[in-house]
Structure 1
Amino acid sequence: MKRIPESLIQDIRNKTDIVDFISRYLPLNRKGKNYWGVCPFHDDNDPSMSVSQDKQIYKCFVCNHGGNVFQFVQDYEKINFIDAVIKVGESINLDLSEYQGSTPEVDPKLAQYYTIMEEAQSFLQYQLRSEQGKEALNLLYERGYNDDILEHFGVGVALTSVSLSKFLLAKSYTSDDLVDVNLSRWMDEDLRDVFFDRLMFPIHNKHGKIVAYSGRAIARESTIKYINTSNTPIYVKGEVVYNSHRAKNPARHQQSIIVCEGVTDVFAFTIAGHDNVVSLLGVAGTDQQIQEVSQLNKSVILAFDGDGAGQAATFAIGKKFKRMHCEVHIWYNDSGLDPDDLLREHGQSAISDGLENKIAWLDYVMYYAIGTYGLNSFENKKKVAEFVLEELKHEDHLAQDYYMNLIADKTNLDVSILSGMLHNKQQKQERKISVVQTHKQRRISATIPEQTLLKQMLGSKEAAYRYRDALGFFIDDSAQNLGLLILDAYRIESQIQAADLLSKSMDEEVRDLLFHIEASTIPSDFDQKVFDENIRIIKRRLDNMGMDQLKQDSINQFDIGNKAEILVKAILKKREGENK
């Protein structure tokens, strides 16, 4: 594997906004200078993780997890540093394929399952074009799907209750494997197909591999309209977003992603010329699905069914996307029809008009609140106000002012009272965060003079070189290691940040010290007088510990191996002094 140059790693980090990147994984809310979110690295209920846009680092004040954007990806995705750099690089559209390691080995069993699903797909598509599949094909034509759409989405048909199982067994796959991927099941000691007399819509994972099926009944009188693949070793319901592998590039080019409920709703938008569309395969919207969609694009248009369940899902899922810092709009649809039926009854223009006239999130919140509670009594008006204010507390002042006046107009409640209610909600949120900020941190062993020098060294190359020439050695182990990291960084760069150092390997104690110094109120600007005074303080302590000569030998030694040997002697001598 080709090594990624240090300069490229640095460039990727500099071009990546850590707040924007972490927002792809979890919701962040701005409080003061920093952003706060629920820490994903421990059982966290209140926001305890702070993300600094200025310093480009994150830190949990409970479990002490922290680092730069690469460290976050490593810990969250459970991948190595190089893969994390590549993943972050891809987010800013850099092609780092030349640095990609060899393709990781795939579990042979999983590879077998994927192959079975591909074989099944070929058979189901073949059946649709066979003589026996004509009824199903005509039904699809009647619903407005042409051959291009059927081919694009890989639509097939499952006919009799044994045809797919027999085909796959003849290809030498075992019955156990067919049951494992939920294509077959045992019934009265006979192997039967899970799907039969159904139109078959393949479901792919984000890498484009077929992992499941959604089967729609061909017979109109069927009491079960859809059945879907159960959880298998390659498919877990709630972890897959339908059509995400196809929508990835269109979402980037069209700068938005349309999210709907069902498979055929995706067909409807695609037919109308909007291929930046995915489905959640229902209205649950798990955290994993929300995260995957938000990584496709941060501008989300929700297009669920127009019935009551669809309206409730729009609000619930919209809130999840808002917590992921997405810009949320609602596809305008006053017909009460789902996208698939709307396309057939009113044509492609109805789909496109709904996108053109999309509704802003807070306008929808107002509409939904009034539709839910009504305005026919004081109590209901109060509920409407509370409902909307809860969503307003995370918005900017301009949006708050506009919608508070709108609420006042709709409910006849006094706007000053509404303002007070909103202020109380915000104060409660801020009190939660202030409790997190005062959480007791891990003990730092470096002395204040050492911390002061290190803070100035982080902010000034001149300070770092003056330390090297005048002292070159810290008493505390973690301070010493951090000092060496800073000096090493200045060999390449004229300016550095803590986030730069966090890309390097370091002990937990050094990492904690770095975070502590960054969060401290110690000035980072180089001050000659303060700097010299702290050098003198550390020198006096070194003299008292009988280490001055060893320290001086280290400064004067140019051979790296000899320098390291002398430093080891100094450290041992220091520890002897501490144990007396």
Structure 2
Amino acid sequence: MATRIPQEFIDEVTSKTNIVDVISKYVQLKESGKNLFGLCPFHEERTPSFSVAEDKQIFHCFSCGRGGNVYKFIMEMENKTFPEAVIEVAQMGNISVPDQYENQSTQYENSDSRTLLKMYSDAAKLYSHILTKTENGTAALKYLNGRDLGDDLIQTFDIGYAPNNNNLLLQFFKDRDISEDVLRKSGLFAENQEGELFDRFRDRVMIPITDESGNIIAFSGRILNKEASTAKYMNSPETPIFNKSKTLFNLNNAKKEIREKGNVILFEGFMDVISAYKAGVTNGVASMGTSLTDQQLYTLSRLTDKINVCYDGDDPGVEATYRALTQLTDERFTYGVISIPDKKDPDEYIRSEGAQRFQNLTNNGVQTPISFILNYFKRNYNLNNEHDQLEFLNQSLHEIVKLQSPVEVDMYVGRVADEMQVSKDSINKELDALRRQMAIQQPANNYKHVQQKALEQVTSSVRPKYDRLEKSERYLLYWAINFPEVRINLKGDGFKFVHQDYQRIFEKLLSYVEQEEIDDEINISDFMNVLDNNDKNLLAELEMMNMPDEYSDQEIDDYMTNIKNSGLETQLKEINQQLKKAALVGDSKLQMDLLKQLVDVRRTLSN
């Protein structure tokens, strides 16, 4: 059984960790004022509302309300417990973790999702062992080596082999007492007509698919026998832990390079990603056999604003590239195309031309989408035929008209004019006519877009409004947290907040200060470790308020007065309501009693 992680180790990890370094692995952060902002990783948004305060080592989303320290971020981002998050953060910072603490991170809670994660991890280890350590894996290992995938790359991607055996994996998990219900949910097994389970993957090279955090959540199995009638690739079905519309292959490995290079390369297949990685191009990902979804685009938008498409160079690959470009219309990104020469796929090009030439191609051979599209149109038409010329012109102008830069427009108008052997003036006249036509249609077509933009602007500016009482509580609690003399005065006065959320944090603050024997300012990030999730969110919100550096004694007195008087103001409202009821029933005696109470409360308030 793992040893409880001591506070001394947590303190060491905290002192050696910068929250910006950790969050930057997941979110593209940009400085704005004294804090850093980016798109929130916990919900979809267009306008960055996720803020990181480096000086306080905390984060807060002004939109969804999540907030906390570096451990809270990892806990929510990767669905980990607090001890697991401490270990994760330590490993990110290359901080040595004693074995007795590291084992803590492998303890799974009793939930289906954690059981499935453990099953996929164990299955990957089994497949890897079969590939590299047994005779059953010899043919698969020979196939991989024949594609220049050596031991290091096989280990990096946890590649394995599922032998041609109906119940090897099934028996493996039955021996571990995994229930029938979980086995069916896992996606690792199929069932026959009698309802009996059998291994879904057989005689296939197994490529694990991981989530953004590196947890194995699915497999892609490649058939070894090309002559077989079955599909070349088989992917896991969707399960409680695998949603193909949210998943990008290799994102966990590629995140760092995507941020550093400022772009992501979208490949067509998993083996292309692996081959590119082997060639030193490590910012590549692949989708799950479909075009990029909104969820996948949002995930990428937190890391970069540039997507380069690198599909196969043969005819189907060119068609797939064109389809991808027509679907990639998200305005958060700019797009490029990396065309593989000689109708080769990336893997073939790397093996024939070498890693260095492939790196040069990905770095220096990026086409603009319009350049690729004009070439694509040209492939489909005979420009010596007048009918084809006009069709080519019509399609080309509908792409050029979308361009915003006058220089780009002039450049591509000149290119089309050269292709058709006509003057640029005549092309420009056609382009002007198209613009006028589109301008007439634009109001109707653009209405929905304008409405959406207006809605986003309104919703992004909405901020919660607090009455005088709650404003006083929020500001007073902020000063009590950050200035010891304020909290000492409140404690000595026996002060209590009206709202329980603020009172609870205040009580936790006093307990934390006493237990840690703190006489000066507290460490906000460390204080968060003693709060529950909701209180962490609230504390982060308070700490992100735009407050001055110092307070005044009069300000503190006013806040305390407002809070203390709130009870009297509530009494006034209640007495006035009772007076109305007494008047309705004609109870003059009760009215006199209530009026006397009303005078007494007002006198107390005025004093």
TM-score band (shorter)? 0.5 to 0.7
Which string of whole-angstrom CA distances, capped at 9 and with x for unpartnered residues, describes residues 542-563 of structure 1?
9999xxxxxxxxxxxxxxxxxx
C-alpha distance in 2 between matches for 1:217 and 1:514? 53
The letter for the 2-side match of 1:186 is N
The letter for the 2-side match of 1:17 is V
The letter for the 2-side match of 1:51 is S
The letter for the 2-side match of 1:341 is E
Whether 1:186 aligns to 2:197 is no
The letter for the 1-side match of 2:51 is V
1:212 to 219, 231, 239: 219
C-alpha distance in 2 between matches for 1:352 and 1:289? 25
Return the offset for 1:308: 2.8
Q: How many residues align?
A: 501
What is aligned with 2:498?
476
CA contact (8 A) 1:24 1:295 kept: yes
1:58 to 57, 60, 63: 60
What is aligned with 1:397?
none
Which string of whole-angstrom CA distances, capped at 9 and with x for unpartnered residues, describes residues 435-456 of structure 1?
33235547674463x5554454
* Structure 1, 65-74 or 29-38: larger mean CA deviation: 29-38
C-alpha distance in 2 between matches for 1:183 and 1:538? 64
Structure-2 change in CA distance of 1:7 and 1:246 (3 Å): closer
What is aligned with 1:437?
461
Structure-2 change in CA distance of 1:523 and 1:78 (3 Å): same
Which string of whole-angstrom CA distances, capped at 9 and with x for unpartnered residues, describes residues 487-537 of structure 1?
6569648556866655542695896587368546x6442335x34753784
1:364 to 363, 368, 382: 368
In structure 2, the residue corresponding to 1:24 is in which secondary structure?
coil
Which string of whole-angstrom CA distances, capped at 9 and with x for unpartnered residues, describes residues 383-407 of structure 1?
6564x66xxxxxxxxxxxxx67545
CA contact (8 A) 1:482 1:514 kept: no
Task: Tell me the TM-score normalised to structure 2 length.
Answer: 0.58
C-alpha distance in 1 between matches for 2:207 and 2:496? 63
* Structure 1, 121-130 or 69-78: larger mean CA deviation: 121-130
Structure-2 change in CA distance of 1:355 and 1:468 (3 Å): same
C-alpha distance in 1 between matches for 2:452 and 2:295? 29
1:268 to 250, 275, 280: 275
Whether 1:505 aligns to 2:520 is no
The letter for the 2-side match of 1:432 is E
The letter for the 1-side match of 2:550 is D
What is aligned with 1:526?
551
What is aligned with 2:320?
309
What is aligned with 2:205?
200
Return the offset for 1:340: 1.8
Structure 1 residue runs of 5 or longer lacking an equivalent are 390-402, 546-573
Whether 1:16 aligns to 2:19 is yes
CA contact (8 A) 1:257 1:277 kept: yes
In structure 1, the residue corresponding to 2:192 is in which secondary structure?
strand
- Across the aligned residues of Structure 1 and Structure 2, the Cα RMSD in angstroms comes to 6.2
In structure 2, the residue corresponding to 1:164 is in which secondary structure?
coil
The letter for the 2-side match of 1:24 is Y
Structure-2 change in CA distance of 1:213 and 1:124 (3 Å): farther
Return the offset for 1:333: 3.5
C-alpha distance in 2 between matches for 1:115 and 1:102? 15
Structure-2 change in CA distance of 1:460 and 1:12 (3 Å): same
What is aligned with 1:396?
none
What is aligned with 2:574?
none
C-alpha distance in 1 between matches for 2:127 and 2:533? 51
C-alpha distance in 2 between matches for 1:199 and 1:155? 11
The letter for the 1-side match of 2:26 is R
Q: How does 1:96-107 map to 2 (within 5 A)?
A: 99-100=101-102, 101=104, 103-105=106-108
Which string of whole-angstrom CA distances, capped at 9 and with x for unpartnered residues, describes residues 283-311 of structure 1?
54467767888999999875433423135
C-alpha distance in 2 between matches for 1:45 and 1:248? 20
Which string of whole-angstrom CA distances, capped at 9 and with x for unpartnered residues, describes residues 93-122 of structure 1?
445566553631477975677656655665
C-alpha distance in 2 between matches for 1:67 and 1:17? 13
Return the offset for 1:339: 0.4
Structure-2 change in CA distance of 1:377 and 1:150 (3 Å): closer
What is aligned with 1:340?
347
In structure 2, the residue corresponding to 1:269 is in which secondary structure?
helix
C-alpha distance in 2 between matches for 1:37 and 1:278? 20
* Structure 1, 84-93 or 484-493: larger mean CA deviation: 484-493
The letter for the 1-side match of 2:6 is R
* Structure 1, 147-156 or 302-311: larger mean CA deviation: 147-156
CA contact (8 A) 1:240 1:280 kept: yes
In structure 1, the residue corresponding to 2:166 is in which secondary structure?
helix
C-alpha distance in 2 between matches for 1:493 and 1:358? 61
CA contact (8 A) 1:205 1:245 kept: yes
